[in-house]
Amino acid sequence: MRKFQIKVDDKVYEVEVEEVGGNESSAGTISAPQPIATKVKEEPVSQKVAAKVSPAPAVAGEEVVAPMPGKVLQLKVSEGDSVKEGDTLLILEAMKMENEIVANASGNVKKINVAANDMVDTGDVLLVIG
């Protein structure tokens, strides 16, 4: 029996699979595949496997989210800076292209949740403008 871990929809399953036979073949004889018995037991997802970025504490204001997965190349603002709608906030590299992420509202930068060289996913809150 060999043990494997399989992750399906953020649930981790431990599966035991028994190898039946080998590369044995009989000349001119084809046999039907035999069912393989498996044991599956559900285990809670360990902290190590499910290590994800924990959500940033809630700060009131307009959230600027990542429109696509990528790498933060450069921050153009700091916390406390005043910005106008359309101002460039940071540069996000995605698929070898540099994308300007702009302010979706005017106000002051209340919270920055990323730093240069951070990897982000679609929908991650990059910063908050209040």
| pLDDT score of 14 more than 70 | yes
* Domain chopping of the chain, boundaries: 2-43, 62-129
Q: How many residues does the chain have?
A: 130
Burial of 72 (0-12, 13-18, 19+ CB in 10 A): buried
Architecture of domain 62-129: Beta Barrel (2.40)
Decide: pTM greater than 0.75: no
Q: How far apart are CA 47 and CA 49, in angstroms?
A: 6
Give per-residue pLDDT as tens, 75-108: 999 999 999 999 999 999 998 899 999 999 999 9
Give per-residue pLDDT as tens, 56-66: 556 678 999 99
